[in-house]
């Protein structure tokens, strides 16, 4: 089964174009390293929760939008090798993020059901 890397981040709403430009550059690296697909999504209907929600999870402010992304890999082995390669790539090392990376949530997930 495939393997998924997911991210959730708060992006200054005014930086949407910069976020997309950054994503286009970094997503090329993921594809070159073996990703099956890369998806970026901009928050459109992100409600406030009673206990927790996406905005609180990344400490989004009123002038920020929650964005999510996911990378689909063939399997965890390809993903692990890809990340090692990507983190050594000069293009990645020289990239500036148009958001606060310290508030980004990320993780790898083993797909257990695909319909």
pLDDT at 39: 98
Rounded average pLDDT over 29-50:
97
The predicted structure's pLDDT at residue 96: 87
The rounded mean pLDDT for the chain is 96
Domains and CATH numbers, the chain: 3-110 (3.30.70.100)
Q: What is the reported pLDDT for 1?
A: 85
Q: Are 100 and 10 in contact (CB under 8 A)?
A: yes
When pLDDT is averaged across residues 35-63 and rounded to a whole number, the result is 97
Sheet containing 3-12, strands listed edge to edge, beginning at the edge strand earlier in sequence: 37-42, 64-73, 3-12, 105-110
Q: Which of 52, 62, 75 lies closest to 4, judged by CA? A: 75
Structure tokens at 66: 């929650």
> What are 55-87's pLDDT values in tens digits?
999 999 999 999 999 999 999 999 999 999 999
């Amino acid at each position: 089964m495939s393997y998924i890397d997911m991210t959730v981040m708060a992006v200054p709403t005014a930086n949407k174009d910069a976020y997309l430009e950054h994503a286009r550059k970094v997503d090329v690296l993921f594809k070159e390293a073996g990703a099956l697909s890369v998806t970026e999504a901009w928050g459109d209907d992100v409600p406030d929760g009673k206990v927790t929600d996406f905005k609180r999870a990344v400490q989004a402010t009123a002038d920020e939008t929650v964005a999510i992304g996911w990378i689909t890999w063939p399997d965890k082995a390809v993903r692990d090798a890809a990340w090692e390669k990507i983190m050594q790539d000069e293009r990645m090392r020289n990239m500036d993020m148009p958001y606060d990376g310290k508030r980004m949530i990320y993780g790898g997930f083993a797909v257990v059901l695909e319909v």
